[in-house]
Structure 1
Amino acid sequence: MGKFKSFFTNHNETRDEHQDPALRSHYYKTTQKKALEAVQELFGSMNGYKVTSVSEERGELSIKSKKAFIVVTIISVRPFETSVDFSVTTESGFIPIDFGYSKKEINNLYNKLDSKLPFLRGGQ
């Protein structure tokens, strides 16, 4: 039911123990500061994305794209173990359904981030 639900919504987010394995947090072998820099570089290199807010203290970034609003949360779990979570909300004009776009966007972002940072593991 979870995969069906993620298709008929305009919002998806990752967390450590998500029922959908594709929407589980990713952990990287890096510091919070380096992960934050990597995420900023990632969105800086992507056309159509604009970082609108950065809070180093909270480990959060807000990003606006043509189709979505993205919040990235970066948390240092242990020294050199940092989790990255995404929350993606699409802005649809008439109906609050994105037909899986927000989930695809999360998977796309994780794939790009996995190539920039040393991936340790996914959530539980």
Structure 2
Amino acid sequence: MSIGRTIVGLWRSREETREHHRDPNLRTRYYREPRDRMVEKVVEVIRGQLRGWHVVHVSRDHGEIVVERRHWLGTRDITITVYHVSPMRSAVDIVSSKRGSFGDLGASYADILAFFQALNRVAQLEQKS
């Protein structure tokens, strides 16, 4: 993580992915999996590979997974949403926000990168053409 990301993290306590983010690491990810299977893979990754992440709630109907991440920097609430794009294609977005008034020193950004790195090991990421 860069020094600039840490400095911005002094006051920013929230990070999210979206379709047209200026940071390529924070763009929506597309996978060649149906939504229901992606929800299961996301839960499997969180429970099996991400230490300190605890699944609070899973809504399979809406494709939302609510996670709590405890860390020495504080507790972060993370919402992962899996969207149905087509029968064999889904998209994943994530929002991470720290509880409290101070920034998170870029920890939310690092959590998003760690999550996608773990998810990419078990799900087929769609390559851009």
Band of TM-score, shorter chain: 0.7 to 0.9
The answer to whether the 8 Å contact 2:7/2:105 transfers is no
> 1:85 is matched by which residue type in structure 2?
D
Deviation at 1:2, TM superposition (A): 9.2
Matched residue, 1:30: 33
Whole-Å separation in 1 of the counterparts to 2:81 and 2:98: 18
The answer to whether the 8 Å contact 1:39/1:113 transfers is yes
Deviation at 1:117, TM superposition (A): 0.1
| Residue correspondence of structure 1 range 46-85 to structure 2 within 5 A | 46-66=50-70, 67-85=75-93
TM-score between both structures, scaled by the size of structure 2: 0.83
The size of the alignment, in residue pairs, is: 120
Matched residue, 2:95: 87
| Residue correspondence of structure 1 range 101-120 to structure 2 within 5 A | 101-120=107-126
Aligned-partner SS, 2:126: strand
| Residue correspondence of structure 1 range 6-21 to structure 2 within 5 A | 8-21=11-24
Whole-Å separation in 2 of the counterparts to 1:120 and 1:4: 32
TM-score between both structures, scaled by the size of structure 1: 0.87
Percent identity, aligned pairs only, is 25
**After the TM superposition, which parts of structure 1 deviate over 3 Å for at least 4 consecutive aligned residues?**
1-8
> 1:56 is matched by which residue type in structure 2?
R
Aligned-partner SS, 1:119: coil
